[in-house]
Amino acid sequence: MRGIIERFLEEIRRSAVALNPERIVDLGCGEGIVAGMLKASLPNADYLGLDISSEAVEVARSLHPDLTFRVGSVLDPPEERGIADLTLCLEVVEHLDDADAAVARVLEWTSGHALISVPWEPWFRMGNFLRGRHVRAWGNHPEHVQHFGPRSFSALLARHTDSHRVWTCFPWIIGLARPS
């Protein structure tokens, strides 16, 4: 599993580096794992991480005291539209009742690109089930209320942008979108 996660993180890092952003906003930054990776690869980029969990934000701050982290939700409006060259929203949308509202909000933060990922179903659930996780729910994480395949994820992004690309990094789906 560690190798699969490392491959996913490398795909995110490569995608972000290729865009060479000056300002990154990470919606759903968690404990700052991606923040640290991006800091190492894009040392001059300004970074802001937001997460709904105050505990996660505290961990991120302790791990990366030179970066900015705040408590906030992906559904909160940005202080200023388009303040980021790159907005990240990794492994968040599947937790939200209104995926359309989340994608619309993510795109409000960026004047450049949004990099969004979700679990690739049914493969993600199958992996959980085979590892003995969430067996009673057939591998479905109890907090996952949205389920996507590449086509449904692409359709979600298409409702909010004229310019997007979707690809897989097993067992995840990644989308790169530009605001319309």
Q: Pick 174 or 144 by higher pLDDT.
A: 174
Predicted pLDDT at 47: 98
Length of the chain: 180
Using 50, 70 and 90 to split pLDDT, how confident is the model at 154?
very high
pLDDT over threshold 80, residue 127: no
State what percent of residues in the chain have pLDDT above 90: 81
Q: Say if residue 43 is preceded by a cis peptide, omega within 30 of 0.
A: no
What pLDDT score was predicted for residue 166? 98
Give the residue extent of every domain in the chain.
Answer: 2-178
User: Is the per-residue pLDDT at 140 higher than 90?
Assistant: no
Q: Tell me the chain's radius of gyration from C-alpha atoms.
A: 16
- Report the side by side order of strands in the sheet with 68-71: 68-71, 46-51, 23-27, 84-90, 110-119, 172-178, 163-169
Model confidence at 131, pLDDT cuts 50, 70, 90, reads: confident
Which has the higher per-residue pLDDT, 134 or 89?
Answer: 89
DSSP for residue 76: S
Looking at the predicted structure, is the pLDDT value of residue 180 above 90?
Answer: no
Q: Is the pLDDT of residue 175 over 90?
A: yes
DSSP conformation class of 93: G
According to CATH, what is the number of the domain 2-178? 3.40.50.150
Cα dihedral sign, 72-74-75-80: positive
The structure's pTM equals: 0.92
pLDDT in tens, 22-57: 999 999 999 999 999 999 999 999 999 999 999 999
Query: Does the pLDDT at position 114 exceed 80?
Result: yes
In this structure, what token pair is assigned to residue 48?
Answer: 């802001």
Considering only CA atoms, which of 52, 51, 55, 26 is closest in space to residue 38?
26
Q: Does residue 130 register a pLDDT over 90?
A: no
**pLDDT at site 123:** 77
pLDDT confidence of 128, banded at 50, 70, 90? low
Classify burial at 1, counting beta carbons within 10 Å of its beta carbon; exposed 0-12, middle 13-18, buried 19 or more. Answer: exposed
